[in-house]
Chain A
Amino acid sequence: MRELTQLSTENQVPAADKARVGKKKGRDIGRFLPLYLMLVPGAVYLIINNYLPMAGLVIAFKKIDYSLGIFQSPWVGLDNFKYLFSNNDALNAIRNTILYNLAFIFLGNLLAITVAIALDLASNKVLKNFSQVVFLIPFLLSTVIVSYIVFAFLSPSNGFVNNSILPVFGIEKAIKWYNEARYWPFILTLVFLWMSFGYSSIIYYSSVISIDKSYYEAAVMDGASAWQQIVYITLPILKPTIITLVLLAVGRICYSDFGLFYLIPQHSGLLYSTTQTIDTFVYRALLELNDVGRSAAAGFLQSLVGFVFVFGANWLVKRLDRDSALL
């Protein structure tokens, strides 16, 4: 509509002015040219790093022949997918990814909200500040270092758990942690919570401290206990933040922290039934088993379903809380 009116006014411009308008337009492009040039390096990088691999997803329908190149390799239809689901490995990885994510989302947010509220309630300033500093340390570390720490705890022969914790409970027999799959859902969930609770509680804490203190003052006047303040003031005000963070996490339900599932279990094959996720499956198929077809098929499903979830989550977030959506 605006363009139309602009056009019509331009049409009414006398001939003498027309030249000036044209010149101004030329100057405009000249003016913005440096800005467009600034965009070039980043755009080239995004094309190489993000857009070319998107196009490369077609290899899920091809049989890769390196001598022919990626895009010239022959089409094989759905063969890679049939092969992918010919045994239970992929289904197991998909199941693990989703179940771990659900547990992480539920427990992670619960813990983070609890910590944020505890930080807000803490009256001791020193403890309050000190804990905020310390809680972020696990998040700061690389997963490689975390795998060292977990190994120090769980090493079967001289780990801290087998040598110092279990004997306290009267268990003298060493548990071979890296051989027994059934312990790993608990171990990985604990490690995840340990690594991430500082980060997520800081996010919640920044919302909690922005709550107007006068609400609490009024509630206290009416005789509200700390618990009642949490239930009737803090949580309702946090609700949009909680919904947004949970939705964004649900959007990433097809993805997992590769390092957590690859490094922390020390690549122990005996643990795959409970530690394999889509990301480790794709990595192992591609680089350890040289099975490009299966790997590409699994990756394709992850990207596609992942996109639907990310997009859906964002759409919902946008409807609920415009400022937090990506798009």
Chain B
Amino acid sequence: MITSSKSVSFLVTSFLVLLVVVSVIPFWLLFVSSFTSESYLIHNGYSLFPQQFSLAAYEYLWGVADSIGRAYLMSVIIAAIGVSANLVLTILFAYPLSRKDLPGRDAISFFLFFTMLFNGGLVPTYLVYTNFFHVKDTLAGMIVPNLMMNAFFVIVMRSYFTSNILDEVLEAARIDGANEVQILTLIVLPLSKPIISTIGLMALLVYWNNWTNGIYFLTTRTDLYGIQNYLNAVINKASFLQSQMATMMSPMDIPNVSVRMAIAVIAVLPLLIAYPFFQRSFVKGITLGSVKG
């Protein structure tokens, strides 16, 4: 659109600025309250402007660094294994599907697509994984169910292979005596770095933000919790305590409000710091997803 109208650009600018504020202010609230003294939070509530600056929450967290550090480490391990497995499965499934000469290609595509149309849902999935594969309270329970392969990623990757890797290149490699494994690893993959990094990033976000596998499959082994399940356990405990307090009409509040906010800040911070560096790739992943291929 083209406009030279002052009022239109004023309207547009204020709308966007408002949305920017709305997008960021909740983090600001989280951030500020983690640096505010506990007594201020209890008596005056959360505030947008730093009041009674205090590092007590972070000092406290430093003291229990091993439990948070452990959850962090688990998240890193789960994400590392999960993303690698996801990429391997995705690439290995997408490459043959991208080959127009593969006999039975349509049937295989349908086998993949059908998983996007129909699914068994939570109950059978849960029963299959816990009764047949016994993933309950194992690291596999955090990594394997639901997350390790996504038909959608396969389709995006297949489309990239189809449109970016010329048949002539593959044919030339074959004439030179390369086998399929060599063609995939030495020719296709080096040419596909952009899509591999985009899909790797999307898979990383899926694993990093996942908490459902933790509540489905981890019941006693809370030591396998990643950072998301750790956070969830903390706020559950807190809101339970608070509802107890409320019914007792106690003027007291639950302790460690600022500590909870500090944990959330620590959990979000690495993502926010890394975000500007992967923002482009992330947007590409979103728009690729929307148009399929």
Contact = CB atoms under 8 A, between A and B. Distances in A.
Contacts of A114: 15
Contacts of A220: 2
B103 A121 contact: no
B125 A163 contact: no
B29 interface: yes
A46 B111 contact: yes
Given A39-B92, A121-B8, A136-B283, A46 B149 contact: yes
B95 A38 contact: yes
Nearest to B148: A45
B48 interface: yes
Nearest to B14: A118
A303 B118 contact: yes
Nearest to B290: A203
B26 A149 contact: yes
B127 A56 contact: yes
Contacts of A299: 120-124
A184 interface: no
A145 B180 contact: no
- Residue of A114, A134, A202 with most partner-chain B CB within 10 A: A134
A115 to B, nearest CB: 7
Contact of A46 (B115, B127, B229, B291): B115
B186 interface: no
A219 B241 CA distance: 62
Contact of B12 (A42, A121, A267): A121
Contact of B291 (A121, A123, A324): A324
B77 interface: no
Contacts of A303: 118-121
A290 interface: no
B30 A148 contact: yes
Contacts of B245: 157
B179 A54 contact: no
Interface residues of B, number: 110
Interface in A190-220: 194, 197-199, 202-203, 206, 213, 216-217, 220
A106 to B, nearest CB: 19
B7 to A, nearest CB: 9
Interface string A106-125: 00000000110111111110
B123 A286 contact: yes
Given A59-B123, A148-B260, A279-B122, A141 B271 contact: yes
A142 interface: yes
Nearest to A199: B286
A134 B253 CA distance: 34
B58 interface: no
- Residue of A158, A199, A302 with most partner-chain B CB within 10 A: A158
A323 B89 contact: no
Contacts of A152: 26, 29-30, 33, 46, 261
B154 interface: yes
Interface string B7-48: 011001101110110111011011001000000011011111
Interface stretch (B59-67, B160-168, B203-211): B203-211
Contacts of A132: 283
B127 A70 contact: yes
Contacts of A325: 292
B169 interface: no
B113 interface: yes
- Residue of A38, A144, A279, A327 with most partner-chain B CB within 10 A: A144
B220 interface: no
B154 A54 contact: no
Interface of A: 28, 31-32, 34-36, 38-39, 41-43, 45-46, 48-57, 59, 64, 66, 69-70, 114-115, 117-124, 127-128, 130-138, 140-145, 147-149, 151-153, 155-160, 162-164, 176, 178, 194, 197-199, 202-203, 206, 213, 216-217, 220, 225-226, 229-230, 233-234, 245, 258-259, 263, 266-268, 279, 282-283, 286-287, 292, 295-296, 299-300, 302-303, 306-307, 310-311, 314, 323-327
Given A42-B92, A52-B120, A229-B1, 9 more contacts: A34-B180, A122-B16, A135-B20, A152-B261, A197-B19, A216-B1, A282-B121, A287-B126, A287-B216
Interface of B: 1-3, 5, 8-9, 12-13, 15-17, 19-20, 22-24, 26-27, 29-30, 33, 41-42, 44-48, 88-90, 92-93, 95-97, 99, 102-103, 108, 110-113, 115-128, 131-133, 144-146, 148-149, 151, 154, 179-181, 184, 205, 208-212, 215-216, 228-229, 231-232, 235-236, 239, 242-243, 245-246, 253, 257, 260-261, 264, 267-268, 271-272, 275-276, 279, 282-283, 286-287, 290-292
27 contacts: A38-B96, A38-B180, A45-B89, A46-B112, A52-B120, A52-B124, A53-B128, A54-B120, A56-B127, A118-B15, A130-B20, A131-B19, A137-B24, A149-B29, A152-B46, A155-B46, A157-B42, A157-B242, A158-B46, A158-B253, A158-B257, A160-B47, A164-B46, A225-B3, A287-B216, A324-B292, A325-B292
